[in-house]
Amino acid sequence: MKKIILVLMTVMLVVLMMSIGSGAVLAQTATATPSGSTTQFNSSVTVFGVICENQAIVNLNGTMEPAYDVYYQVFSGAQAGGTALTNLRRVQVDGTYAFSEAVPFSGATVATGATGSVKVYIAPESAPNSPAGNIFIVDDVQDGCANAQNPISSSVDTGAGAGTSTATTATSTAGLIRSPFGGYINSDVPVVPEGEVVIGARQFVNPQRSSTPGVIFAECDSYLPAAAPGLLYDNDNITIFFSWYAKTEAQVLDHLAKAQYSVLFQRAPLVDLNTSAITKIGSNYWVFFTANIGNLKPGQYGVEYKLTWSEATFDGYDDYGPGTNNVSQGSTCSFTIERNPDDSPVVYNNIYSVR
């Protein structure tokens, strides 16, 4: 699946690769146009983030229309994974802007060689949890610090506490992942901070139950905490799903004709994979793929997801497939099944072995 974060505005992306030392940094440029509007929305942001041991250097530039600002948050893991190292911060800018800030981490450091990330989006000044377009996540390997690109300024701490993601605490639907059963998965799953530790490999802590236990997004490891499976028991009915959407129904049909999915569970192909009818949700057309697994024995489980296309296809927002910038997509989802606390009897699906 590609764009799991709800798109509130159409966004055109130009992706540039940049680096500091040996740590790769992804700079992203975006120009947004409100859905259903013929008036050009001229707000944009280019991001260049550097993860240091105990702070991040965040460089932003672009153009901002009145009543909108840039918001960002720093995390200890790649793709906004791990723990939040800062609160959500608001960068108050208008017109053409160039902004840099050295923001200290709260309660943790990032070890040399570990990957941190900066999540950035544009949102109304009055609604910081309602991104006006895509959410951009910039990864960087911690291999030393760097100088700011612009004179150092300060952003405003919005008070969204460390250890939480704005995607899961937002009152809007931005950042949430659509469920094949309607609504969203993990709409209120809490995320617990790890405390004062040195962050090496990503250590995502979420000992709580999901609000939709057993509904497992096949690409969840790339979309934590929004897609976190949470605490799972052997009497939870496990369903693995993934999805695709496009601007028109014809574009979804074109994707289905050219898509080549390889989705493995416990390194074996998913059995009885079902494809939903194409449904219009909001301003887009969606299709969901589900595999009902049933009850699993306690143990470790994993999904391996890969998507390629036989020919190029267009979803109304971007091109995918051979000869495009999106030749393939891949991710994983790892989760653990525990014995149910009531010790009630369970009939297990024994097709998939426990790792």
Q: How many Cα atoms sit within 13 Å of 22 on the Cβ side?
A: 4
pLDDT of residue 204: 38
Q: In what order do the strands lie in the sheet with 268-269?
A: 232-233, 328-338, 299-309, 259-265, 268-269
Render each residue's pLDDT in the chain as its tens digit; 355 residues: 444 332 222 233 222 223 223 333 444 343 333 344 444 557 888 889 999 988 999 999 889 888 888 999 999 888 888 888 888 899 988 889 999 999 988 767 888 889 999 999 998 887 787 787 778 888 899 988 888 888 888 888 776 543 333 322 222 233 578 899 988 888 654 333 333 333 343 333 334 788 899 999 999 988 877 788 989 999 999 999 999 999 999 999 999 999 999 999 999 998 889 999 999 988 889 999 999 999 999 999 999 999 999 999 999 888 999 999 889 999 999 999 999 999 999 999 888 777 6
Residue 347 placed within a domain = no
Clarify whether residues 186 and 331 are in a common domain: yes
The domain in which residue 129 lies consists of: 9-169
> Is there a domain that residue 217 lies in?
yes
pTM as predicted: 0.51
> Looking up tokens 């049909």, which residue turns up?
253
pLDDT of residue 196: 34
CA-wise closest residue to 223 among 204, 240, 210, 207? 204
Q: Are residues 137 and 231 in the same domain?
A: no
Q: Is 222 exposed, middle or buried (0-12, 13-18, 19+ CB in 10 A)?
A: buried
Question: Distance between CA 201 and CA 206 in Å, rounded?
Answer: 16
In a domain, 355, yes or no: no
Rounded to whole angstroms, the Cα distance separating 283 from 285 reads: 7
Q: Is residue 165 part of a domain?
A: yes
* pLDDT, tens only, 239-279: 999 999 999 999 999 999 999 999 999 999 988 899 999 99
pLDDT of residue 355: 64
Query: Do residue 209 and residue 226 come from a single domain?
Result: yes
| Residue 161 and residue 48 share a domain | yes
Taking the CA atoms of 145, 148, 153 and 156 in sequence, report the sign of the dihedral they define.
negative
Question: What is the pLDDT at residue 351?
Answer: 84
* pLDDT score, position 205: 37
Q: How many domains does the chain have?
A: 2
Please report whether residue 223 resides in a domain.
yes
Residues 153 and 19 in one domain: yes
346 lies in some domain: no
